[in-house]
Structure 1
């Protein structure tokens, strides 16, 4: 059956669909598959217990059924939006109203809206691109535009640190904002690397965006104030030219599919219209569950006192384990500053990262090949074929077994 141009683009193989297929395969496969690839958050007992209590309360009160039985508006659940505005105003003095916030069916949904609003084909034959100033970037961005050739990325500066670590920084000397750029987009912490852009880098990017009359999009799905999976100093940032995206997924509700967008009212209105046409309304179950947590600021307490230390401890243990098992001096780990992942760099890797992914999958270990994380980077760069993303957030025995399989293969590759 012939498909349209749209159909051909969105039915072809992509990194994000491979990742989600692997994630589902891992969930269904049980103990036979070690899931160190996808972005499922950890099962944190204290968080799961609290969410179960909230759902039971909603069920007892009849609110759960009421939420499932009714549509919200295209902008999302009003009570949750109002509570979020009050929370951010109280925490940061941002002077938000309900006109500054909308909800989406997860962050992926939000970025599809944003990239197609601000990038792609415009009237009079003009075309705008989304600029990623710090590659590598999130795998899910790569195919989130209806237009072809919708992204452009800039190679980072690489700073090698002590103890086998390294860190990416924005190369502002190489960063050009041409007239065909429709928006700047960064994630903070960055998926896949765990990199946290410094306050100076964010301020510099904001100034460039304002100077060129384009918005700065910040993907804050792992950031502060919730779920606060961030281990470096980072000041929360928003202004009227910033589009800040958050999520309930990494707080522990990925199945609820709730993304949060904070922007100026014009952007929120445009995205709400898109939401009405494409989805009628975003799902209400996640906002209903999280509403009391936001109202009482318990979501901040749980993020600060439970979620952040849980992940930080897991990250430190995984780094120690990797460095003890992988013997080649060509192995580097990006400094773990946040998110659920470790970004592993194997200098002069004898095979491509995608071949490594396939070989590890054959042994029951799922990771993600690094080559998927460079959308918009046109120039050849060997580094893109030397990295993998590893999810350290699973059970300790799963992480240890997975790292052992990885280490055995890496050590053998370099020895040979």
Structure 2
């Protein structure tokens, strides 16, 4: 069967497809695999209890049940949900928005596919424009979302060495070059994969640069602000008419219902909704139905007050485990500021992170190699091959076992090559 350029690109190999397929196959073949990869959230008892109660309430109400299962909602997303969310954001953060500034999508991955391709690629006049990441590494799921080649560009970070075991990436404004080839700036906050939280000052600076260039600033807040607030450092939510904020219900504990939220100026939301109708017809009803009361009753604050310390405690324990088990090895951990990952930099790693990934998989541990996260950086920067992403969302016993195996394998590699 002959495929179009689209068919060849999206049915072929890519970083995210290979990793997801490999992770799924490995787990099927070995259900006892220690899972330190992927983005599944941890199980927070209070969160699970809240959504269980909501689900039972809907199931027992014939009208609510029919609205959930029996009808298409507005293509922009269920109006009551959007109104409650808009009211919450306006009151809590003084954002000048209404339900007309909000659209619902079938997951944030779906939303980014539409948003990126609305803004970048081949333009009406034939020009080629890119989505630019001012701080790489960035989320591997973005990497193949463009409909054309060379769709993304990036700026290397500056690296702040905090101490012998800790570092932090910053936007390197001295090398950030915005020209007519760039359609938008895009950041995740906190950043997947590193857990880095771009500072308020950096966000303000990026916003100024975007406005001067007449391009939007896109902020992926799936792990952060305003919710689920998996943040361990002070930061403020940011939105204005030139900003597109994309949120998700996944890290609130609902990854299976695939609900994304887009917040932007009214015209962009209208255009996004039109594109979303063509690609998805309508959005799922379950996410808005389960979470509407979160914002109408301000229950969101109650849940995030449970979520934030749940992950912070896990992060701190995992950092200590890594420090104990990797003693004597030249490593640094990115300062854990949020999300559900730790980013481990193994300076002078004798093999690539992908080779380490394969070795650890053979020993029953799944991690994510760092190479594919450096989207748009095509040179052979050694740092790209020395990093791995670890999820600490699993049970403590799983994390402890996995860290020991990871450390033993890494120590053996350095010992052989010493």
Which TM-score applies when normalising by structure 2?
0.97
Corresponding residue number in structure 2 for 1:203 = 204
CA deviation string 1:179-222 (max 9, x = no partner) = 01000000000000000000110000000000000000000001
1:292-307 → structure 2 map (5 Å cutoff) = 292-303=293-304, 305-307=305-307
1:105 matched to which residue of 2?
Answer: 106
Shift of 1:25: 4.3
Distance 1:181 1:225 in 2: 27
Shift of 1:71: 1.0
Cα gap change, 1:8/1:73 in structure 2, threshold over 3 Å: closer, same or farther? same
Q: How far is 1:225 from its partner?
A: 2.5
Unaligned ranges ≥5, structure 1: none
Equivalent residues of 1:247, 1:258 under 8 A apart: yes
- In structure 2, what is the Cα distance between the partners aligned to 1:219 and 1:26? 29
Q: 1:20 Cα shift?
A: 2.7
How far apart in 1 are the matches of 2:18 and 2:335? 26
- Offset of 1:379 from its aligned partner? 2.3
Task: For residue 141 of structure 1, report the CA deviation from its aligned partner.
Answer: 0.6
Q: By how many angstroms is 1:163 displaced?
A: 4.9
Provide closer, same or farther for how the CA distance between residues 345 and 250 of structure 1 changes in structure 2, counting only shifts above 3 A.
same
CA contact (8 A) 1:73 1:280 kept: no
Structure 1 residue 380, shift from structure 2 partner? 2.1
Distance in 2, Cα, partners of 1:272 & 1:290: 21
Contact 2:73–2:285 under 8 Å retained in 1 = yes
Residue 133 of structure 2 corresponds to residue 135 of structure 1: no
Contact 1:245–1:262, Cα closer than 8 Å, also in 2: yes
Native 8 Å contact 1:104 1:259 kept in 2: yes
Q: Name the CA distance, whole Å, in 1 between partners of 2:293 and 2:21.
A: 34
Please list, as runs of the form range in 1=range in 2, the aligned pairs for 1:131-280 lying within 5 A after superposition.
131-280=132-281
| Equivalence for 1:41 | 41
The equivalent of 1:81 in structure 2 is 82
| 1:311 and 1:340 in contact (8 A); partners too | yes
Using the TM superposition, give the Cα deviation of residue 268 of structure 1 relative to its aligned residue in structure 2, in angstroms.
Answer: 0.5
Contact 1:68 1:284 in 2 (8 A): yes
Q: Is the 8 A contact 1:327 1:411 kept in 2?
A: no
Q: Which secondary structure state, in structure 2, belongs to the residue aligned with residue 354 of structure 1?
A: helix
Q: Distance in 1 between matches of 2:91 and 2:25?
A: 43
1:95 matches 2:96: yes
Rounded to whole Å, the distance in 2 between the matches of 1:372 and 1:378 is: 11
Give the C-alpha shift of residue 77 in structure 1.
1.1
> CA shift at 1:61, angstroms?
1.1
2:197 aligned counterpart, secondary structure:
coil
8 A Cα contact 2:132 2:186, kept in partner: yes
Aligned residue for 1:345, secondary structure, equals: strand
Q: Which residue of 2 aligns with 1:119?
A: 120
1:404 aligns with 2:408: no
CA–CA separation in structure 1 for the residues paired with 2:2 and 2:284: 33
Distance between the aligned counterparts of 1:134 and 1:414, measured in 2? 30
Instruction: Describe the superposition over 1:155-190 as per-residue Cα deviations: whole angstroms up to 9, x where unpaired.
Output: 000011125000000000000001010000000000
Quickly say closer, same or farther: Cα 1:298–1:101, change in 2 above 3 A: same
Q: In structure 2, the residue corresponding to 1:246 is in which secondary structure? A: strand
Aligned residues of 1:19 and 1:37 also touching (Cα < 8 A): no
RMSD: 1.2
The answer as to whether partners of 1:107 and 1:247 remain within 8 angstroms in 2 is yes
What number of residue pairs does the alignment pair up? Answer: 415
Q: Give the Å deviation of 1:46.
A: 1.4
* Structure 1 Cα separation of the partners of residues 67 and 103 of structure 2: 21
Contact 1:353 1:388 in 2 (8 A): yes
Deviation of 1:115 (Å): 0.7
What is the CA deviation profile of residues 116-145 of structure 1, one whole-angstrom value per residue up to 9, with x for unaligned ones?
011000122111100100000001110111
1:29 deviation in Å? Answer: 5.9
CA distance 1:214–1:387, change in 2 (3 Å): same
